[in-house]
Amino acid sequence: MNSKDMRMLLEKIRDGKTTIEEGLEYLRDFTYKDLGFAKIDSHREMRVGYPETIYCSGKTPEQIGKIFTYMLTQNANILATRATGEIYEAVKSLCPEAEYNEMAKTIVVKKQEVEKPDTYIAVVTAGTSDLPVAEEAAVTADILGNRVEKIVDVGVAGVHRLFDKLDIIRGARVVIAVAGMEGALASVVGGLVDKPVIAVPTSVGYGASFSGLSALLSMLNSCAGGVCVVNIDNGYGAGYLASMINRLE
């Protein structure tokens, strides 16, 4: 439930279109819904502006199915991350309109349109191998109500490719830079734009990249101002933070 839903409920009670008893029933799970194995935070959207996201890794299809069953009763868009094809099939049987992004491993159910600001988020990847994490960031930003522009495979091994897309990147309100290997893209972008840069290290690279640790440390040690860093492969966290920045008034 968000502030708009609460206002509508109170107005219906005031106007006699809904009884107090019906309102109490609607609010029965207002703070959270206890499913035994999970407590779904129904109050989150009103509290922080965005509804709870389902992190699928470590959960069974049956558990995720029960979570979806409840969340489908709420008037909010649904995002699930790190979802396998098996999990998607379980969700699709409950909700045929669910959309699966195989690369991002996300499931989206759009129950309402979110008005998007005129500004946009640029998602920039160093290489094609970084696309799964970049897609997770893009899907997250989109479902949270943002316009997204994707610029792919413009890493420092051929930095002229990046310069060809600078107008699009500089036009964004916030930039997400996704890179594995040595993670240099975030510093390069940070030195070329006057917007916040959210750096996402990926686990792409050979042995000495230590599954993304090398990129993470490089990004944390960036000499470019305005660069912040999320965890390895955390496209969701980058998309969420970028949305908060892009939607600031």
CB hemisphere CA count around 145 (13 angstroms): 17
Q: How far apart are CA 36 and CA 7, in angstroms?
A: 30
Q: What is the pTM of this model?
A: 0.85
Tell me which H or E stretch contains 215.
helix 213-220
Between 4 and 246, the higher pLDDT residue: 246
Q: For residue 4, is pLDDT > 90?
A: no
Q: Strand runs (DSSP E) across 69-137, as ranges? A: 78-81, 99-101, 106-109, 120-125
**Strongest mean pLDDT among 16-20, 90-94, 229-233:** 229-233
Q: How far apart are CA 200 and CA 212, in angstroms?
A: 10
Which pLDDT band holds residue 28 (cuts at 50, 70, 90)?
A: low
Taking residues 180-191, what's their average pLDDT?
95
Which strands sit side by side in the sheet containing 227-229, from one edge to the other?
147-151, 120-125, 174-179, 197-201, 227-229
> Which pLDDT belongs to residue 41?
76
Give me the residue label for tokens 């994707």: 150
Taking residues 99-105, what's their average pLDDT?
96
For the chain, percent of residues with pLDDT exceeding 70: 92
Q: For residue 5, is pLDDT > 70?
A: no
Taking residues 17-36, what's their average pLDDT?
70
> Which pLDDT belongs to residue 1?
57
Give the chain's mean pLDDT.
90
Q: For residue 7, is pLDDT > 80?
A: no
Least confident of 105-119, 166-180, 186-200: 105-119
> Which pLDDT belongs to residue 71?
87
Which pLDDT band holds residue 21 (cuts at 50, 70, 90)?
A: confident
Q: How far apart are CA 245 and CA 227, in angstroms?
A: 13
Q: What is the pLDDT of residues 62-94, one digit of tens each?
A: 999 999 998 888 878 899 999 999 999 999 998
> Which pLDDT belongs to residue 76?
83
Closest to 219 measured CA to CA, from 211, 230, 209: 230
Tell me which H or E stretch contains 39.
strand 39-40
Residue 240 in 3-state DSSP?
Answer: helix
Closest to 39 measured CA to CA, from 70, 72, 3: 70
CA distances from 79 to 87, 144, 179, 249 (A): 13, 9, 24, 24
> Which pLDDT belongs to residue 64?
93
Q: What is the DSSP-derived secondary structure letter of residue 237?
A: H
For the chain, the structural domain boundaries read 31-109, 120-246
> Which pLDDT belongs to residue 24?
61
CB hemisphere CA count around 58 (13 angstroms): 4
Q: What is the pLDDT of residues 33-58, one digit of tens each?
A: 777 888 887 767 777 778 889 999 99
Helix, strand, coil shares, percent, the chain, to 5: 45, 15, 40
> Which pLDDT belongs to residue 99?
95
Q: What is the pLDDT of residues 143-182, one digit of tens each?
A: 999 999 999 999 999 999 999 999 999 999 999 999 999 9
Report the CATH number of the 120-246 domain.
3.40.50.1970
Q: For residue 19, is pLDDT > 70?
A: yes
Residue 198 in 3-state DSSP?
Answer: strand
